[in-house]
Copies of this chain bind each other. A is one copy, B any other.
Amino acid sequence: MVTLKQLAKELNVSISTVSKALNNSDEIGKDTRLRVKALAQSYNYTPNKVALSLKQNKTKTIGVIIPNILNHFLSKVLFGIEREANKHGYTIITCISNESLEKEKEGLQLLGNGSVDGFILSIAEETQTKNEIEHFKATIAQGLPIVMFDRVAHDVQCDKIIVDDFEATFNATKTLIAEQRRHIVFISKIDKISVGKLRERGYNKAVLEQGLEPLVLRIKKGDDAQEKIKQLYKKNPAIDGVVAADSASGVIAINMARNFKRKVPQDISVVGFSSKSVSNHSVPKLTIIRQHAKKIGAKAAEFLIKRIEDGAVPAQNYTTKIIKTTLVKNKSTL
């Protein structure tokens, strides 16, 4: 990489002249400016980002800590973050907590040393079960803003972007009830995390309101989801509706139903939290609760960048933005 120093030497001018010329300062004479620019161009000069960061005490970089990049929803949010960040001239540096509290802390620590101007994160499962929030508070106290999305800690003062999980399943369940379904099961692989709990509650409320019996299938890590759902159908032949809290369960529920000679949507109606691409993995296509992951990511980035650039505004006026889900009807419901 060429530096200002080298350019200055070659042009027989001072470093500051070069710097000013490149920054279009009107202190510098036109001809000098042009000469400098020409040479810089020819060397393909670009200012060293690290030096700039040190000097200006800002990195134009956002730290993103997500629990699991193999989760389609989360990687879609990441995509949204990246795109929005880029628009504003920011890059993102990613840590994957792998649902571990320790790795989450490490990420915060590692990037908190001046590497980033702020964080966007979704909380690890372990952090949620242990209910730890001190590391977030410490980071914020250190002057680094945090924006949380999806899985958030309500006791931490910061901007948040969440989904209307409770209402989403409540409404989805009611939709099935309106189809005259009376034996609706709720399937979840995410019963441990906050959003999973909310979704289960939404389902429960809708079912109980109608005097129906709730039936919940929780799939643990390491379980064979197909097998569990098979057993479920076997034991409960009356099932005529499925609400799935995660993207795979809905798809499997549809594909497995046919093994029991049950037609979707005639005999069983299925709806699940998922994305368009995954909804394609079942025939008929899964009716989905869309979470608008990219939008969530974009909003999170927007919020964070605003915080960063509004500078040392006394941290306050924190917003919690709810991105409403949309029910996209495909052919797995009537």
Contact = CB atoms under 8 A, between A and B. Distances in A.
Given A1-B114, A94-B92, A96-B82, A283 B252 contact: yes
B277 A256 contact: no
Interface stretch (A105-113, A164-172, A177-185, A204-212): A105-113
Given A252-B281, A258-B283, A69 B78 contact: yes
Contacts of A32: none
Contacts of A72: 70, 72
Interface in A218-274: 225-226, 248, 251-252, 255-256, 258-259
Interface stretch (A49-57, A153-161, A193-201, A317-325): A49-57
A19 interface: no
A61 interface: yes
A94 B256 CA distance: 38
Given A75-B70, A280-B225, A285-B226, A50 B1 contact: no
A295 interface: no
Interface string A91-126: 111111000000000000111111100000000000
A283 B226 CA distance: 8
Contacts of A255: 255, 281-283
Count of identical protomers in the assembly: 2
A283 B251 CA distance: 10
A91 B91 contact: no
Interface residues of A, number: 54
Contacts of A278: 281
Given A46-B109, A50-B50, A248 B280 contact: yes
A76 interface: yes
A137 interface: no
Given A93-B92, A96-B83, A259 B283 contact: yes
A173 interface: no
Nearest to A282: B255
A311 interface: no
A79 B50 contact: no
A49 B113 contact: yes
A262 to B, nearest CB: 13
Contact of A142 (B1, B91, B282, B285): B1
Given A70-B76, A256-B283, A93 B96 contact: no
Q: 4 nearest interchain CB pairs? A: A281-B281, A255-B283, A48-B114, A49-B113
